Homo-oligomer: A and B are copies of this chain.
Amino acid sequence: MHFFSDNATPLSPQIMAAIAGADRADHGYDGDGWSARLDGAFSDLFDTPVSALWVSTGTAANCIALATLCPPYGGVVCHEEAHIAVDECGAPGFFTHGATLMPLPGDGAKLTPGAVTDRLKTIRPDVHQVPARAISITNATEYGLTYSPDEVAALGDVAKANGLGFHMDGARFANAVAHLGCAPADVTWRAGLDALSFGCVKNGGMVGEALLFFGEAAPARAAEAKRWRKRSGHLFSKGRYLAAQILAMIEDDLWLANARAANGAAQTLAEGASGRLMHPVQANELFIRLTADEAARLRAQGFDFYDWGEGAARLVTNWSQDAHSVAPLADALRALDRE
């Protein structure tokens, strides 16, 4: 059984159906009927006018968003373990033409308003130093923690007070919302967010994430983002297959149903590993203390996962799992404790 990444999973049946449903002639690029429905569908979901576009990957979504929020000579405040800082091979520097990431420490890969404010204070306003122009957070974070609406809003206040754009990497946004139980609006634009990378692939999609812009500047930013999308080779000839997946993901709340399944599976594992947890389990990732010997024993039983440095491991659940299907691993974890 695979617990090494939600990338490994097959497609939600509804996604495969959506692909099949889009399999007829229409205009190319984003001139098709499915792409044309994105703005409306996300505006409904977020209860505000949204400018939405499909992009190919989370990296592209994050970086195109940052390119619209930060000039080449600007900086982006983020967590030092953020995906954009650690796992995108410098893609933000590529898309922004050399903007500077300003990484900060923080528990559970979460930024705090205090830490951001303190960092901003260190920057002289002269031309010798890179001025911060944006804040980027990940929700749920790289350690599976969520920012609540209040926490996002507190960072949104810092962004607003300092004239910074505010972006959220939502590769696991569905898992965050499923945990928080809030309206999508509450944890985004109502909290001051300008741009959201709305993840689909980890949640059962094949290719295609949505990049959303909120607020008055949204149409202008989306227009610019479409230039970046084309210029970076991300404007697919047959975009309808991406748009159709994204629409299927948000219709009938598939995104939340899938995220709830993954989160529920994670909770089941968390109970099995209750003495080993390195972080609270809120979304669909667990980070647990695990010796090399224990890891070997689990793998011998057919469980797959990543080591996370020495003496630790990362377990990721996904939409195709539920409490029942992950029970064997929960049991195996408990068994380790009894030995």
Contact = CB atoms under 8 A, between A and B. Distances in A.
A8 interface: yes
B241 A88 contact: no
A28 interface: yes
Given A230-B127, A234-B56, A8 B20 contact: no
Interface in A229-250: 229-238, 241-242
A interface: dominant SS = loop
B128 A233 contact: no
Contact of A28 (B7, B72, B231): B7
A237 B72 CA distance: 23
Kindly report how many copies of this chain are found in the complex they form together.
4
A89 interface: yes
A58 interface: yes
A29 interface: yes
Interface of A: 2, 4-5, 7-11, 16, 19-20, 23-29, 55-61, 63-64, 71-73, 75, 86-91, 93-101, 127-130, 201-202, 206-207, 224, 226-238, 241-242
Contacts of A232: 60, 91, 94, 232-233
Contacts of A242: 207
Given A7-B238, A60-B233, 5 more contacts: A4-B27, A10-B23, A59-B230, A73-B231, A127-B235
A73 B207 contact: no
Contacts of A89: 73, 127-130, 227, 230-231
B27 A8 contact: yes
Contacts of A241: 206-207
Contacts of A55: 233
Q: Which 4 A-B residue pairings sit nearest by Cβ, starting from the closest?
A: A93-B98, A7-B28, A60-B233, A59-B233
